[in-house]
Structure 1
Amino acid sequence: MRHDGKLTQWNDDKGFGFITPTAGGPRVFVHISAFPSGGRRPTVNEPITYHLTQDSQNRPRAQKAIYLNAARHASPRSRGLMLASSIAAAFFALLAALSALGHMPMPLLAAYALLSVITFAMYGIDKAAAGKGRRRTPEATLLFAGLIGGWPGALVAQQLFRHKTRKQPFQAIFWCGVVVNCGVLGWLIYSGELASLWAGLGFG
């Protein structure tokens, strides 16, 4: 059974505090380990829902604590990942619609998807290499992969792995690449040059 309460005391340095139950009664001890791992830190006066247990001395203790306003106070990481995923999904939905209407070759949609998967993997490998002190993937390679069509995968990978998101020069160049890629694709479709270019490359 879950109980509701408010976090009325919190020592962030030591990672514990106390919840005052909404229904009344003694305060309930809560440790940082009771909250979802990898999430944000609790704050005082925040509504909490929790499972009520007892410690070895029969004192009330909270387990499996959840922020009642979790959706409103989503971590920056989760918000960024949701936004990145939404942008990537919307882009591929647009490409699928253009392909269905005959404005874009279906293999080009598949190429964008493949490039996104490859670029996503490149970011993941580079992030792992950074943590282990191994040889890194050059930033120019990551940026080029995004420029030629892998930017949706790069966008999701940046947020999921928290990789390259704080390097402003990198982000500026990355988004310039996104604009260039989308701009060129849009112009080719609008001008009708995409079909002839595709055929000229031997895919027609």
Structure 2
Amino acid sequence: MIRLLLSDGHAPTRAALRQELAGMAGIEIVGEAGHGDDLLAQLGPAAPTAVLLDLALPGPDAFALLPALRDQYPRLRVLARGDFTNEQYVARAFDLGAHGYLLKNAQPGELAHGLSTVAGGRPFLCVAIGLALLGRLRTAGPVPDAAAARLALGLSKRELEVLGLVAEGLTNAEIALKLFTSKRTVETHRQNIMDKTQAKNTAALIRLAASQGLLPE
């Protein structure tokens, strides 16, 4: 069960989020905040396991909140929500302690998937940003030979297949169906890929894969 503390600086949006999340299995809303100070005050009493963090939250700058959350509550998982697709903006959120990034216009299903992914200890990047990043990288110019790059990184052929499907924006469950395997096996492949490439998050992984010519045409 995910014990969620949700935040959004806009009260009607916060109410809509609460309504969406209340109907999702495996999620218990233990608090909500419309201000950075409110969020910090509730962390101890509410004891959430995950935070849905509005990066435009009034009060203490959300980018200043992220290192504080990381340092004071190291087991807390943070899914950041923002309006921007700028690569530097997204990367900054991850570098400061976010475990996932989701656009505010994401559909409820992707929101639920993002929460379950970060709560499960894995990084998450919403599909829209991943695909936009992939599109920019694929037009960046010539890349090394894919076979040589794959061998240099130590990826197996199956891991390369999984990597390509991750870049297409498929969820672990969708990849499992496509490859006729279990979701747990896909999760293991994804973790192995992250370990072998030493990518910090999905955005960095896609950037590396594209630069090395590891993605299918």
- Bigger radius of gyration: 1
Please indicate, yes or no, whether the TM-score normalized by the shorter chain is above 0.5: no
| TM-score, structure 1 as length reference | 0.24
